[in-house]
């Protein structure tokens, strides 16, 4: 047994680390560190930098620009980006629509969409959840009815992340009749956000940020050519996407950076004549979190190692998501705790040059990160998956 990276993997890590040092724009990194929201242009700027380097879609086949990296190298790359403070890569095109097109798309669809996703020319969002269909996604009601060589789509999607930035949305819609088993009769459509009849309405979250939306479809005409896979096979596509999710849900690199930041901040806070970092009670909390993160990172590597043997990931993805998000949330909580009473200021009133924006970012971050145990399959649903797939219960 050897828990260390091979010499080749270490060399790869150092190479990526060195490249990030040279190529990650300082102003983008600063926004990550300050918990700022990103504009569409800022997100695309980083996307295009990686695309130019040829590193934007490592998991894709080489024909479409992929890198033929092993799962371990892809993991190293993701974690190095997270640790360095790279802006998030929006997954809807790169990690969702792209892989779906590669697996199920027609040649025409691949040729039309994949290069544009790769180069960051189209911004994608995901039309899955509906007001009545969250964890129970298959109960979705948005309907597409054939009309000549088009579908006419009516209904509503919700929690649509960055729909207000998007050029395209991929949607699960109901094309079959209501009598069927609910997983059947669902189709996967690609919809141009500029099509008449689409309305995007922001859903404001409690941290004051705008990242999710409601998307309304009112007689939206979608060409038949924009359906991926056969009619009624949308659920097969959706399930493929779930199993395709990479083993990077734990976001260990990002958490490691946040942990360092927490230590640095706590080292600057006074408590009873010493620093908060020297306070045994706080130090214990911090240490437990660090050990938790170490355990998760080794577990993640162990799962990756098993994958090297060719087995498809199953319950492992869910375990990493649960523990990874718990750690992310605890980090935001400890940041607030470290700031103590100074974590309360939220938004200045009027012109306030003395307002401490740095510390004022902690509470919104804590609020915002409650989402991590809710989104992408809530942690309750992840536990159901483990119970079913992992334990046969």
Partner 1 sequence: MNFDLSEEQQLLGESVRRFAARDYAFDTRKRILASAEGMSASVWRTFAEMGLLGLPLPEDAGGYGGGAVDLMGVMEVIGEALVVEPYLPTVGLGAQLIARAGSAAQRAATLPAVAEGAMKLAFASTEEGSRYDLARVATRARSEGGGYVIDGTKRVVTGGPFADRIAVSVRTSGAEADAHGITLLLVDAKAQGLVMTPYRTLDGQRACDLRFDGVHVDSGARLGAEGEALGVIEGVVDFATALVCAEAVGAIRYANEATLEYLKSRKQFGVAIGSFQALQHRMVDMMITYEQARSMASLACTVVDAAPSPAERRHAVSAAKIKIADACRHVSQEAVQLHGGMGMTEELKVSHTFRRLTVIAQQFGDADHHLERFAASS
Residues in contact with partner 1 by the rule CB under 8 A: 129, 132-136, 139, 158-159, 203-206, 208, 212, 269-273, 281-282, 336-337, 340-350, 352, 354-355, 360, 363-364, 366-367, 370-371, 373-375, 378-380, 383
Of 304 and 360, which has the nearer Cβ to partner 1?
360
Structure tokens at 151: 């579908």
Q: Spot the catalytic one: 79, 80, 245, 258.
A: 245
Nearer to partner 1, 106 or 139 (CB): 139
Helix axes 252-266, 71-84, angle to 10 degrees: 30
User: What is the pairing mode between strands 168-174 and 212-223?
Assistant: unpaired
* Cα separation, 16 vs 24, whole angstroms: 11
Give the shortest CB-17-to-partner 1 separation in angstroms.
35
* DSSP assignment of 43-63: HHHHHHHHHHHT-S-TTS-GG
CA distance 127 to 191: 10
Using the minimum distance from each CB to partner 1, give the nearer residue, 315 or 367. Answer: 367
Q: Which residues contact 220 (CB under 8 A, 6 or more apart)?
A: 152, 153, 154, 191, 195, 196, 197, 198
Round to whole Å and give the CA distance between 120 and 131.
30
> Residue 58 Cβ, how far from partner 1 at the closest point, in Å?
30
- Beta-carbon count within 10 A of 305 CB: 12
Parallel, antiparallel, or unpaired for β 168-174 and 124-127? parallel
Cβ within 8 Å of residue 194, ≥6 positions away: 167
How many Cα atoms within 13 Å fall on the side-chain side of residue 313?
A: 25
How far apart are CB 139 and partner 1 at their closest, in Å? Answer: 7
Question: CB-wise, 306 or 344, nearer to partner 1?
Answer: 344
Q: Which is nearer to partner 1, 53 or 344 (CB)?
A: 344
Q: Does the active-site annotation cover 245?
A: yes
Shortest Å distance, C-beta 245 to partner 1: 19
User: At closest approach, how far in Å is the CB of 69 from partner 1?
Assistant: 34
Report, as residue numbers or ranges, the catalytic residues.
Answer: 245
């Amino acid at each position: 047994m050897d828990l260390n990276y091979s010499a080749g993997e270490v060399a790869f890590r150092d190479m990526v680390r060195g490249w990030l040092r040279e190529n990650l724009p300082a102003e983008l990194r600063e926004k990550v560190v300050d918990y700022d929201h990103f504009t569409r242009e800022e997100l695309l700027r980083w996307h295009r930098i990686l695309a130019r380097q040829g590193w934007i879609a490592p998991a894709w086949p080489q024909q479409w620009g992929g890198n033929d990296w092993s799962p371990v190298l892809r993991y190293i790359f993701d974690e190095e980006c997270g640790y360095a403070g790279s802006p998030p890569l929006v997954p809807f095109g790169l990690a969702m629509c792209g892989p779906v097109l590669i697996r199920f798309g027609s040649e025409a669809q691949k040729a039309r969409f994949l290069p544009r996703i790769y180069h960051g020319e189209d911004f994608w969002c995901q039309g899955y959840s509906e007001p009545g269909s969250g964890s129970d996604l298959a109960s979705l009601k948005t309907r597409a009815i054939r009309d000549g060589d088009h579908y006419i789509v009516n209904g509503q999607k919700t929690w649509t992340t960055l729909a207000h930035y998007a050029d395209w949305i991929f949607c699960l819609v109901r094309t079959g009749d209501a009598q069927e088993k609910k997983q059947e009769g669902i189709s996967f459509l690609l919809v141009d956000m500029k099509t008449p009849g689409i309305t995007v309405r922001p859903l404001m979250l409690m941290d004051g940020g705008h990242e999710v939306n409601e998307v309304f479809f009112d007689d939206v005409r979608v060409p038949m050519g924009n359906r991926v896979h056969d009619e009624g096979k949308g659920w097969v596509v959706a399930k493929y996407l779930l199993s395709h999710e990479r083993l990077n849900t734990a976001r260990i690199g990002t958490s490691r950076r946040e942990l360092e930041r927490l230590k640095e901040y706590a080292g600057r806070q006074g408590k009873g004549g010493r620093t908060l970092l020297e306070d045994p009670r706080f130090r214990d909390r911090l240490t437990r979190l660090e050990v938790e993160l170490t355990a998760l990172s080794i577990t993640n590597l162990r799962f990756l190692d098993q994958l090297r043997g060719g087995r498809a990931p199953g319950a492992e993805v869910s375990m990493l998501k649960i523990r990874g998000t718990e750690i992310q949330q605890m980090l935001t909580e400890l940041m607030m705790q470290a700031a103590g009473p100074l974590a309360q200021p939220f938004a200045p009133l009027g012109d306030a040059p003395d307002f401490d924006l740095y510390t004022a970012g902690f509470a919104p971050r804590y609020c915002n990160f409650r989402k991590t145990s809710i989104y992408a399959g809530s942690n309750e649903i992840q536990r159901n998956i483990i119970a079913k797939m992992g334990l046969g219960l």
